[in-house]
Amino acid sequence: MADRYHDSRRTGRLWLVDFTTLTPGALASLPGGLVLTRADASTVATVQTGDSTVVSGIAANVARAGRLASADPVGLLVEEARTNDCMQSNVSAWAGGAGATVSTVATAPDGGNAGRVADADAAQTGYAIFTYNKAATAVPYVESCWSADFSGSAGIQFGPNMNAVAGAPRRTRPASAWARLSTAGTSVATGSVNATVIPAANAVTSLGAADFWGFQAEAGGFATSLITTAGAAATRAADRLRHPTPAGWLMDGGRLAVELRYRPLYASTAGITGASFGLDASNFAQAASGVFTASVGGVSGLASVTTSWAANNPIDLYVAMGAGPTEVAVRVNGGAVSRATDATIRAALPYTSLDLLNLVGALQTSAFIETGATYSRGKRPTWAL
């Protein structure tokens, strides 16, 4: 993205940041004058920093840098608010059932303890189980868990409390290194439900063992970063990323534009209702199931682009709004770009601060932001596609 940025005297660049140079983990500060807030009650936030590594115990209002794969660039993690309904995320504290045993091993992705579940009874399917409370029903729901170090029969199963997934969902077991697996569906039970992990192929004669850690059960169409729990459900608050800009600076005879490169945690088919990168409460680009829509001055639908992407694929997003045509341009994973322009907005729009995330109602986003820039005053910078 860096080659698309031009002289700030012509574009009126407000800020330009490259998060790919950050060190993965908790961050003491952010570049470019940006400020991140997250009103957590305790140190429940985590961030994945590579294929098999996680940093946990991150305090409130502390920014997080990471990536889902070690080969990816580092990005700044911003997420919507989520609650882990499973009151014990560490499987080492779960109970064994049907002849299975649960022991503690010190090999978790964050360097702490994990639970090893072993089934030594060929007469029945062994499992680890934990009962948790879930109030909502008939909503999108995701269960996720880290697993590693399998032995014996192939396969891993966990679930089975969602009706959009057939039976107890089976997942291909990962290699010896830790990997996070998830299953999404629609929640069906209210009150107490059982979380289970099975280190084999759900056959009575299957024997096996595996390490498990970081179980999460959350309302939503995709899994977000682990929210650690130890005896009670826990909530990670939404991240808010902003630049404290003086009033009146932004709109000075021109438009305001934002460019971002980011990797969303969700695919375009995830059924999201609104994941927005916003300039303020009334002006933002909203992505809902593959459709990007620009809203200016509270008037939505001025420009839109339809595209598709897989989770963790890079997206280049450009949105321009102000005293000129509204524009949206999207490039996904180096593929083709669609763009649209529409009505001209003649009135200068008031801004008192620049919110990279529009946190009005449910309009949030969950992604690793790699690079970003904003511009005002003058023409849109050239984007050679």
Structure confidence by residue, pLDDT tens digits, 235-272:
999 888 876 654 444 444 456 677 788 898 988 888 67
24 in a structural domain: yes
- Residue 194 domain boundaries: 91-236
Q: Are 218 and 142 in contact (CB under 8 A)?
A: yes
Rounded distance, CA 26 to CA 166, Å? Answer: 38
84 in a structural domain: no
Q: What mean pLDDT comes out for the span 154-181?
A: 66
Q: Domain containing 286 — which CATH number?
A: 2.60.120
Residue 135 and residue 227 in one domain: yes
- Domain end: 188, 217, 236, which one? 236
The pLDDT, as a whole number, for residue 382 is 34
Q: Which residue has the higher pLDDT, 298 or 215?
A: 215
Residue 302 and residue 256 in one domain: yes
pLDDT(10) > 50: no
381 in a structural domain: no
The pLDDT, as a whole number, for residue 107 is 87
Residue 135 and residue 259 in one domain: no
Nearest to 108 by CA among 172, 53, 171, 44: 53
CA 255 from centre of chain: 30
The pLDDT, as a whole number, for residue 258 is 73
The pLDDT, as a whole number, for residue 163 is 45
71 in a structural domain: yes
Q: Domain containing 148 — which CATH number?
A: 2.60.120.260
Q: Render pLDDT for 277-295 as a digit per residue (tens, 0 to 9).
A: 665 566 667 777 788 877 7
Q: Render pLDDT for 306-325 as a digit per residue (tens, 0 to 9).
A: 888 899 999 888 777 665 66
Residue 262 and residue 287 in one domain: yes
Omega of the bond prior to 160 within 30 degrees of 0, cis?
yes
- Domain end: 236, 267, 291, which one? 236
Residue 131 and residue 149 in one domain: yes
Residue 189 and residue 275 in one domain: no
The pLDDT, as a whole number, for residue 358 is 39
For the residues of 208-235, what is the DSSP string, one character each?
EEEEEEEEEEEESSS--S----BSS-EE
Residue 360 and residue 285 in one domain: yes
pLDDT(67) > 80: yes
Query: pTM value?
Result: 0.87
Residue 184 and residue 214 in one domain: yes
| Residue 344 binned pLDDT confidence (cut-offs 50, 70, 90) | low
Q: Are 227 and 88 in contact (CB under 8 A)?
A: no
- Domain end: 192, 215, 236, which one? 236
Residue 163 and residue 288 in one domain: no
85 in a structural domain: no
Helix or strand (DSSP H, E) at 238: none
Rounded distance, CA 288 to CA 161, Å? Answer: 27
Measured at the CA of 353, the angle between CA 349 and CA 79, to 5 degrees, comes to 115
pLDDT(171) > 90: no
Rounded distance, CA 34 to CA 46, Å? Answer: 21
The pLDDT, as a whole number, for residue 36 is 86
Query: In the chain, how many domains are there?
Result: 2
- The type of residue at 367 is A
Q: Are 344 and 350 in contact (CB under 8 A)?
A: no
Residue 230 and residue 254 in one domain: no
For the residues of 74-142, what is the DSSP string, one character each?
PEEEE---EEE--SB--GGGSEEETTEEEEEES--TTSS-EEEEEE--TTS--EEEEEEEE---SSEEE
Residue 268 and residue 148 in one domain: no
384 in a structural domain: no
Residue 246 and residue 231 in one domain: no
Q: Are 271 and 219 in contact (CB under 8 A)?
A: no
Q: What mean pLDDT comes out for the span 317-334?
A: 72
pLDDT(351) > 50: no
121 in a structural domain: yes
CB atoms within 10 A of CB 62: 18
